[in-house]
């Protein structure tokens, strides 16, 4: 039999140690913001029905065409590892009768998502997203608040010079006219655009707009702009969103060619990133989102408006490292407990529990025999207060408390240990 390969699947990675601390801190920052803005956390299953994404994200999109991890159950159901979070949240909203709650329902999530992409910087097959969704309200003030929350999240993490790119892609009605205009613009230019765009022009013409190929971008610089085709309602909505953003001093850049790669959007769409250096740009956008008022219709349920964003945690962490953003570690006061001999080990096991019940952090190396080895570990952890239970102390129910900085030590009764420690750590 061949040896097993000790390797994660392509595009996936283990998270532990210092890396895990980054993930935890990003999650913590999101959690604090969610509490402030009164968002409830939601956790949906990792697997969802394939149909949910085909209908919502859309058939002609990269996600549905190339990037879904699909599996067939023994019962022959087609399930996919969720590639994004908006459609599952929307499904959960309907399934759990959240229409009867006070609207909008504000939900946030943090978890792993999966896309079968070619792995490269900032692009993985399993990645983590933080998402915030306002479901059930069409007021433009929520579009602005969505962008504000995404902006604040990045600011609280420590980023500066955040760039918000924003556009409106209107509703289905205004898009009809715009698609016609774009189609006639591209009619004589098919030879000038890339092969992918030729296909996009047939299937989903708006997607031509966000092609990154410089040749296509050159052609498109002259293309008609969707904002000039917005109906009065969509125009008014967009105007309000921009006014609200100005009111809260969120700097934005109008990007007439921003359309986003998912079909469920209407009206406002936006992305957040940096465009300072190539390295930053190579990571792609940090966050993306927008309004999805026609998602309900695509899923054949009621017309339920919504707006939200999500943010890629790997990209955030990569940029934190690139920009040397460090979280200030709050040093927790901790103690270390050293034991010598079997009786001392038993007593130590009990003392650890007593300290834990009083929320006092305690580290140990309880399987070790050598006092020297245990003290070395305490030193490495830079712990100032060390408790020592040797054979003598175990027999007469005492503990030595040693201050590693001053070298001063005192002997106390085991039953008074919690009280004595509390005096020392305050």
Query: Footprint of ligand HAM on this chain (CB under 6 A)?
Result: 84-86, 115, 117, 122-124, 127, 129, 131, 133, 285-290, 292, 308-312, 314-315
**What is the per-residue burial (b if ≥16 Cβ within 10 Å, else e) of 88-105?**
bbbbbbeeeebeeeeebb
Shortest Cβ 186–ligand HAM spacing (Å): 25
390 contacts: CB under 8 Å, gap ≥ 6: 339, 340, 341, 344, 371, 400
Structural contact between residues 353 and 304, judged by C-beta atoms closer than 8 angstroms: no
Angle between helices 342-357 and 417-425 (to 10 degrees): 60
Shortest Cβ 92–ligand HAM spacing (Å): 14
Shortest Cβ 126–ligand HAM spacing (Å): 8
Shortest Cβ 307–ligand HAM spacing (Å): 7
Shortest Cβ 260–ligand HAM spacing (Å): 6
Q: Which is nearer to ligand HAM, 22 or 124 (CB)?
A: 124
- Other Cβ atoms less than 10 A from the Cβ of 330: the count is 5
Q: Which is nearer to ligand HAM, 108 or 336 (CB)?
A: 108
User: Would you state the structure tokens that stand for residue 245, as one six-digit string?
Assistant: 């953003």
Residue 316: name the closest of 274, 269, 278, 275 by CA.
274
Shortest Cβ 157–ligand HAM spacing (Å): 13
Q: Which is nearer to ligand HAM, 140 or 289 (CB)?
A: 289
Q: Which is nearer to ligand HAM, 94 or 181 (CB)?
A: 94
Shortest Cβ 413–ligand HAM spacing (Å): 56
Shortest Cβ 85–ligand HAM spacing (Å): 5
Q: Which is nearer to ligand HAM, 313 or 399 (CB)?
A: 313
Q: Which is nearer to ligand HAM, 238 or 309 (CB)?
A: 309
Shortest Cβ 146–ligand HAM spacing (Å): 8
Half-sphere exposure of 1 (CA within 13 A, CB side): 3
Structural contact between residues 233 and 270, judged by C-beta atoms closer than 8 angstroms: no
Burial class (CB in 10 A: 0-12, 13-18, 19+), 73: exposed
Provide the 8-state DSSP code for 66.
I
Shortest Cβ 326–ligand HAM spacing (Å): 21
Residue 420: name the closest of 405, 399, 391 by CA.
399
Q: Which is nearer to ligand HAM, 105 or 389 (CB)?
A: 105
Q: Which is nearer to ligand HAM, 59 or 413 (CB)?
A: 59
Provide the 8-state DSSP code for 2.
P
Q: Which is nearer to ligand HAM, 129 or 414 (CB)?
A: 129
Entry field: residues in the chain = 426
Closest residue to ligand HAM: CB criterion:
312
- Other Cβ atoms less than 10 A from the Cβ of 136: the count is 19
Burial class (CB in 10 A: 0-12, 13-18, 19+), 365: middle
Residue 41: name the closest of 107, 135, 136 by CA.
107
Q: Which is nearer to ligand HAM, 122 or 305 (CB)?
A: 122
Provide the 8-state DSSP code for 34.
H
């Amino acid at each position: 039999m061949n040896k097993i390969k000790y390797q994660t699947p392509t595009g996936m990675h283990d998270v532990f140690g210092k890396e895990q601390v980054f993930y935890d801190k990003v999650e913590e920052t999101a959690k604090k913001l969610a509490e402030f803005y009164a968002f409830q956390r939601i956790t949906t299953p990792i697997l969802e029905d394939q149909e949910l994404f085909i209908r919502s994200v859309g058939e002609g999109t990269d996600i549905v065409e190339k990037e879904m991890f699909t599996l067939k159950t023994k019962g022959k159901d087609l399930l996919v590892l969720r590639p994004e979070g908006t459609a599952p949240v929307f499904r959960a909203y309907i399934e759990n009768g959240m229409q009867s709650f006070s609207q909008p329902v504000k939900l946030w999530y943090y978890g792993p998502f999966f896309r079968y992409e070619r792995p490269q910087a900032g692009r993985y097959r399993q990645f983590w997203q933080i998402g915030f969704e306002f479901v059930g309200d069409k007021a433009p003030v929520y579009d602005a608040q969505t962008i504000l929350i995404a902006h604040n999240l990045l600011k609280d993490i420590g980023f500066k010079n955040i760039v918000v790119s924003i556009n409106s892609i209107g509703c289905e009605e205004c898009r009809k006219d715009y698609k016609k205009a774009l189609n006639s613009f591209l009619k004589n230019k098919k030879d000038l655009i890339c092969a992918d765009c030729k296909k996009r022009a047939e299937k989903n013409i708006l997607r031509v707009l966000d092609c990154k190929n410089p040749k296509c971008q050159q052609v498109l610089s002259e293309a008609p702009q969707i904002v000039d085709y917005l109906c009065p309602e969509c125009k008014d909505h967009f105007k309000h969103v921009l006014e609200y953003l100005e009111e809260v001093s969120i700097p934005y850049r109008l990007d007439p060619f921003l359309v986003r790669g998912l079909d469920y959007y209407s009206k406002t769409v936006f992305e957040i990133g940096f465009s300072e250096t190539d390295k930053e740009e190579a990571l792609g956008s940090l966050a993306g989102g927008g309004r999805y008022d026609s998602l309900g219709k695509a899923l054949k349920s009621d017309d339920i408006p919504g707006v939200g964003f999500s943010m890629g945690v790997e990209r955030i962490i990569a940029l934190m490292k690139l920009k040397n953003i460090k979280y200030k570690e709050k040093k927790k006061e901790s103690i270390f407990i050293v034991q010598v001999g079997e009786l001392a080990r038993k007593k130590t096991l009990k003392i650890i529990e007593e300290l834990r019940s009083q929320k006092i952090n305690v580290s140990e190396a309880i399987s070790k025999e050598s006092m020297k080895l245990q003290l070395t570990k305490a030193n490495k952890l830079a712990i100032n207060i060390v408790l020592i239970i040797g054979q003598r102390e175990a027999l007469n129910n005492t503990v030595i408390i040693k201050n590693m900085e001053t070298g001063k030590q005192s002997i106390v009764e085991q039953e008074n240990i919690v009280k004595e420690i509390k005096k020392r750590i305050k």
